Every structure is written in C-alpha cells, then in structure tokens.
Structure 1
Amino acid sequence: MIADWPGLKALALGMGLPEVTDTTAWGNPCLKAHGKMWCWWSPYVDAAVFKADFDEREMLLAADPETFLMHPHYAAHRLMLVRAGRIAPDWARARLLRQWRDAAPKRWLKNWDGQQVQTGGV
C-alpha cells in the first residue's frame, strides 16, 4: 500500500508516461500531465487526491469509508481523497493512466496510441 507522497510520486513517475512534469501548484508538490494537475497529496489531510466524477466519488465514499474520504476544500470539485496507507498500487496505476489519458489532447493521444501499437508499448 502507498503511504505517502514520495511513494505515490515514485509509482506515478515509474509508469514512464510522456508529458509528465514534476512541479508545484499553490505552493505544494505535484505532478502534471499535459500541463494539467495529475497527481498530488492533499495539504489538508494525509491523503492522495485523485480525479473522480461526483457519482463515482459518492459510490466510493459509501462503499469504503475506511479508504475514501472527503474534505470540505474538495467538495465542490470532481476530486476524491484516498487515505495514506490504503492506496493499492494497482488501483492507483489504473486510475493514473485513465487520468493521464483524459488530460491528453485527443490528436496527441491518437498519435501516441498508434506508436504504442507499432512498438508494443503500454
């Protein structure tokens, strides 16, 4: 299980996805994909922040409140929090890949997907 920002950051960078930058936002460390917030740790609670639509967030909060939580700062946004020490690496990889793809410009992603098929990549 991933317990902290260094662990999540290492997992995310270890995925080897292009167009990812190690930077800061609002004074806090984060990773951006295609120039958009992609991966970060909440400065309000000991938890990772992931993108999720409101329906999915409500479903996850109801299904597993020991793992998923909400902080008032994030309530109005399509985001969810996952408690430190409860982040399954396989779940995080799948979530991050989906978020990375969602952030990519469609034309860029089409070209990248074509290259992956040709080279047998991701």
Structure 2
Amino acid sequence: MTFDDIRHIALAWPEVEDGSSYGTPALKVRKKMLVRLKEDGDSLVMPGVPPDERDMLVESQPKVFYFTDHYRDYPMVLIRLSKARRSTVEPLLRRHWRTLASKQAVRDYDATVA
C-alpha cells in the first residue's frame, strides 16, 4: 500500500480532508488527525489504537505493525505501508474515522452503504 491508497480509501468518507501534520501529508476529520505519513515515507501513524490492541497487532504481524519509544505511551500504532494490505488497514482506519466524524456523517454514510 501507499499513502495515496490510504487517501483514496479515506477521502470517500464524509468529513475527511487532506492536511498536513509535522510537515508530512495527513488526513484529517473535522481538523483532527485521522492518519499521517511518517517522515520515512513508508510508515503510517495511526492514532486511536489502545495499547493492548496495539500490542496484539505488533505481536501477530510484526512486519506490518510496530511502534517506537516515542509512541509507547500514546494510543497509536505505526504501519509499514509497503508490507500492509488493504484488508488489514481499512477496518482500523474506518473505526478511527467513526470516532472523529460527526454522528450525522456516520449515520448518513451507513445509510448509503446499507
């Protein structure tokens, strides 16, 4: 996967827009970070992943999921896009989008998908 793939997925959802964070491309929902590209150009910074879930992801797929000491105390996981599959990343991305989007946007989106 690439950041462009992530953009293509997320920009189809209401209230998602391009932005930047720490000088790197990011996607935001109502001015809050959905995801951002890490400075290495291959890793995605994914907020909204509790430490216990992050530990499980890292343990089950260490080539895809990881974190550094900098992110240890935050509910975030890093994703190596070059090793990731859409079927793995999209559900995490969508779940985080649902926490950031307005309730109305989520209801409207669910109504169009159903």
Do Structure 1 and Structure 2 share a fold, with TM-score over 0.5? yes
The answer for the alignment partner of 2:75 in structure 1 is 78
In the TM superposition, residue 92 of structure 1 has moved relative to its aligned partner by: 2.0
Alignment of 1:41-80 (within 5 A): 41-44=37-40, 46-51=42-47, 52-80=49-77
Tell me the TM-score normalized by structure 2.
Answer: 0.82
Equivalent residues of 2:14, 2:109 under 8 A apart: no
In the alignment, which residue of structure 1 is the partner of 2:112?
A: 121
- Contact 1:74–1:80, Cα closer than 8 Å, also in 2: yes
* Percent identity (aligned): 28
- Gap runs ≥5 in structure 2: none
Unpaired segments ≥5 residues, structure 1: none
| CA contact 2:35–2:46 (8 Å) conserved in 1 | yes
**Count of residue pairs brought into register by the alignment:** 112
The range that moved more, 86-95 or 27-36, is: 86-95
Q: Structure 1 residue runs of 4+, over 4 Å off?
A: none
Q: Is the 8 A contact 1:38 1:99 kept in 2?
A: yes
Computing the radius of gyration over CA atoms, which structure comes out larger, 1 or 2? Answer: 1
**Which stretch has the larger CA shift, 4-13 or 47-56?**
4-13
Alignment of 1:1-122 (within 5 A): 2=1, 4-13=2-11, 16-44=12-40, 46-51=42-47, 52-104=49-101, 108-109=102-103, 111-116=104-109, 120-122=111-113
CA contact (8 A) 1:11 1:89 kept: no
**How far has the Cα of 1:34 moved from its partner?**
2.0
**Distance in structure 2 (CA, Å) of the matches to 1:76 and 1:69:** 13
TM-score (norm 1): 0.78
SS across alignment from 1:23? strand
- Residue identity opposite 2:10 in structure 1: A
